[in-house]
Structure 1
């Protein structure tokens, strides 16, 4: 049985104590963050962490992010905390930034995917922070979805994937940002962007200078992922996804052409973007990149429920949150990209 705790009106410490007790007991609790919903367990409890991998169907070499509620916890989990880390967290925590540091032995191998590094963040969500505080544990939490599928931005999305399979879902309403955290590896110099996310790279570079972008961000295959989102197909609905990239007017023309061609072949076609293009299903992502990021996973899940055969997605400019949006769309499509 899955307990659903309604916390849409704000933090209720009495109710959260129930969820925190479950974490301490080695159970699984889905909870909201500012980015997406996480599927949480005690990060230092090997058996509990294994249950995350089992529930999601997640490959064992795909490391988890540890969520903390106060900066001092970093020193409990990491062997070294470089000056760059201190500068970044002072500026951006709590927030959608994950830092990768050398790990201490207290963190089990299963939590880090066998790596000698640990990924840590402090979420900017009062429910998440209070849950971590009350549990007294760092919480390991990947996105609360079946592995490879679109990430959840509401408790309803979590329930679609996990109701009856985990102990608790905390309903804190829709998430604010809609794409996962940005992951920066601080064990290398210069630092390396492993996954673009809710904190734009440009903002990070204003604080610590030049950051190298890992080739995996643009689709290069890796054998040993140091961050979630690097190696495996992610974020994909059941339908085939095609991403159309290029100048705005050429993109519009190419999508119009693709919709017509696919419908003539008897396909049920969905479009996510700024206009419908006469598709069978349409989801308006928004008029700003922030709205597009917030609505992206909701749109992909909508298309699943609508039963479309093909989803055509409009590409966006790779500036600010646009880099994270395009990373998610390309992965969702398995890099099936049409250049307009």
Structure 2
């Protein structure tokens, strides 16, 4: 069977060019997108691997580059003020309230899909995820391109998400010609995802925008996936697999009282251990101080995982964050990273 041109083994790897977000670079990136190529795009959450969401071939290039399962939906990113009728057959009142409060920003809304939206974008479902990012470079690119961009995180499927342009370039040695450098991501973890396609809003992925903030805007309690699964099926969304965001180095989570015992046991087995904790517990081959505030912790999480992966360690032990609701999104990412690492 003939391979598609983007998967040809005869083509030598060409590293992605990291470009400052000048007007000329934005124009070049938009031209590449119109030609069906994927590019690295900064957002306030994580860097995305962006491609024309209306082109089946362009979306296929994202899936091929990431090694992403074909039934896994991607999020469509739109410019501020865009008409959503191309993507959603209707925008419910709950969605409009959330858009007014949090767009542009780190919030993805699951809406009933419009006719013509690609199955590759929706994972074959009757809903579509849409987000309006707050990052100025993302907005400039969306406006220059003039359409919606499918932009899952710019990393190999299931691995640690990128929060700098260099992370994206390190991840892909071919297939991504340009990465726009928008600096380190301010939020650092993926967007909050809320299903507003039916009468009951459902939180499908926690993120920077908390359930308390969502409920305050909507005037009703926002239920979680776990609370709704027993009542009806909910849409599949990005980042909902039990194993995700995983480093190459095995990762374990330990409560404060267990941390030193875990380090001692690993060291006794002859393992070189890296530790992320608020205070240095001693005994580790490498220790990085963890922020004690949830937003700063989230912003540093993926960069820390990548930094530890570069140290050639045998095991990572991260201190389990507190159980409070403000830590829900961080705990979600850590739990999935630990499962995905196979520790």
Q: Same fold (TM over 0.5)?
A: yes
**Partner residue of 1:194?**
204
CA gap 1:204/1:17 in 2 versus in 1, 3 angstroms: same
SS in 1 for 2:32: helix
1:61, distance to aligned residue in structure 2 (A): 1.4
What is the aligned counterpart of 2:120 among 106, 110, 122?
110
**Partner residue of 1:214?**
225
Question: Number of residue pairs matched?
Answer: 327
Cα separation, 2, equivalents of 1:176 and 1:156: 16
Q: Does 1:77 align with 2:87?
A: yes
Q: Does 1:95 align with 2:105?
A: yes
Are the equivalent residues in 1 in contact too, given 2:158–2:340 (CA < 8 A)?
no
Which runs of structure 2 are paired with 1:291-330 in the superposition (5 Å)?
Answer: 291-319=296-324, 321-330=326-335
1:189, distance to aligned residue in structure 2 (A): 3.0
Cα separation, 1, equivalents of 2:105 and 2:118: 25
Cα separation, 1, equivalents of 2:138 and 2:23: 11
- Residue segments in structure 2 that go unaligned for 5+ positions in a row: 1-13
Cα separation, 2, equivalents of 1:320 and 1:159: 34
What is the aligned counterpart of 1:20 among 25, 30, 34?
30
SS in 1 for 2:252: strand
CA gap 1:236/1:305 in 2 versus in 1, 3 angstroms: same
**Partner residue of 2:191?**
181
1:167, distance to aligned residue in structure 2 (A): 1.6
What is the aligned counterpart of 1:35 among 45, 66, 83?
45
Deviates more, 1:272-281 or 1:14-23: 272-281
**Partner residue of 1:4?**
17
Deviates more, 1:111-120 or 1:318-327: 318-327
Cα separation, 2, equivalents of 1:183 and 1:88: 11
CA gap 1:68/1:318 in 2 versus in 1, 3 angstroms: farther
SS in 2 for 1:44: coil
What is the aligned counterpart of 1:161 among 171, 175, 191?
171
SS in 1 for 2:310: helix
1:253, distance to aligned residue in structure 2 (A): 2.4
CA gap 1:284/1:14 in 2 versus in 1, 3 angstroms: same
Cα separation, 2, equivalents of 1:318 and 1:54: 38
Structure 1 moving runs of 4+ over 6 Å? 335-338
Deviates more, 1:304-313 or 1:323-332: 304-313
CA gap 1:124/1:189 in 2 versus in 1, 3 angstroms: same
What is the aligned counterpart of 1:281 among 275, 278, 286?
286
1:227, distance to aligned residue in structure 2 (A): 0.9
SS in 2 for 1:306: coil
Cα separation, 2, equivalents of 1:167 and 1:216: 43
Q: Does 1:254 align with 2:264?
A: no
Cα separation, 2, equivalents of 1:23 and 1:145: 18
1:239, distance to aligned residue in structure 2 (A): 1.6
**Partner residue of 2:269?**
265
**Partner residue of 1:248?**
none
Cα separation, 2, equivalents of 1:307 and 1:321: 32
TM-score (norm 1): 0.91
SS in 1 for 2:110: strand
**Partner residue of 1:50?**
60
Cα separation, 2, equivalents of 1:264 and 1:223: 47
